[in-house]
Amino acid sequence: MANSAAPEVFATESAEILVEDGHGGAPTHAEPELLGLVPFQWVSIAMLVLLLFAFFGAKVHKTIGGGLDNKIAAIKQQLDEAKQLRAEAEALRDEYAVKIAGAEKDAEAMLANAQHEADAIVDKAEADSKAMVERRKRMAEDKIASAERDAVEDVRNRAVTAATAASRKLIAEKHDAEADRALADEVIAEI
């Protein structure tokens, strides 16, 4: 490394250095050209040729169009199915709304009927309880009347028994055998 000088640049005859004055005298870079077109233009032309070949030469547009048509047909079929399902769902919703309304009316009618039956049961229970009280009252009155009749009859029987005993005693004391004969003769004479 004895020689530490800057590297040497060799120029060839085919290399042209184009220097144009740019901003403030600064050099600008020159783009390479082929047939007067710059690289981005060549890329654009190549893409155009590729697309033209793809669409017209390879009939890709028909394949793409057919695929899109199939996809459109499938989407239309799905939309038709969705419309049909929606119509069925709306019909079911309407049917169940009618059923719910009917069930609510039935429930109201059942509630009113149950209230009416409950009132009728309460009225019948009150009437039955009043009738039962009246029946029991009559039965008690009948038992009391029967007890009174039994008591009166018992008193009469005792009075008759007492009167019979008293009359026997009196008859035994006041009538003797001769008085009995006279009485028997008198009864026989009347016959």
Q: What is the pLDDT of residues 50-103, one digit of tens each?
A: 888 777 766 766 777 788 899 999 999 999 999 999 999 999 999 999 999 999
- Residue 83 inside a domain? The answer is yes
* Number of domains into which the chain is organized: 1
| C-alpha dihedral sign at 174, 178, 180, 183 | negative
- Residue 155 inside a domain? The answer is yes
CB half-sphere exposure, 30, CA atoms < 13 A? 11
- Residue 137 inside a domain? The answer is yes
Q: Domain range for residue 66?
A: 59-167
Mean pLDDT of the chain, nearest integer: 82
- Residue 10 inside a domain? The answer is no
**How far is C-alpha 29 from the chain's CA centre?**
83
- Residue 177 inside a domain? The answer is no
Residue 180: both structure tokens together = 């009995």
- Residue 144 inside a domain? The answer is yes
- Residue 181 inside a domain? The answer is no
- Residue 5 inside a domain? The answer is no
Question: How distant, in Å, are the alpha carbons of 135, 160, 166 from that of 145?
Answer: 15, 22, 30
Helix, strand, coil percent content, the chain, rounded in steps of 5: 80, 0, 20
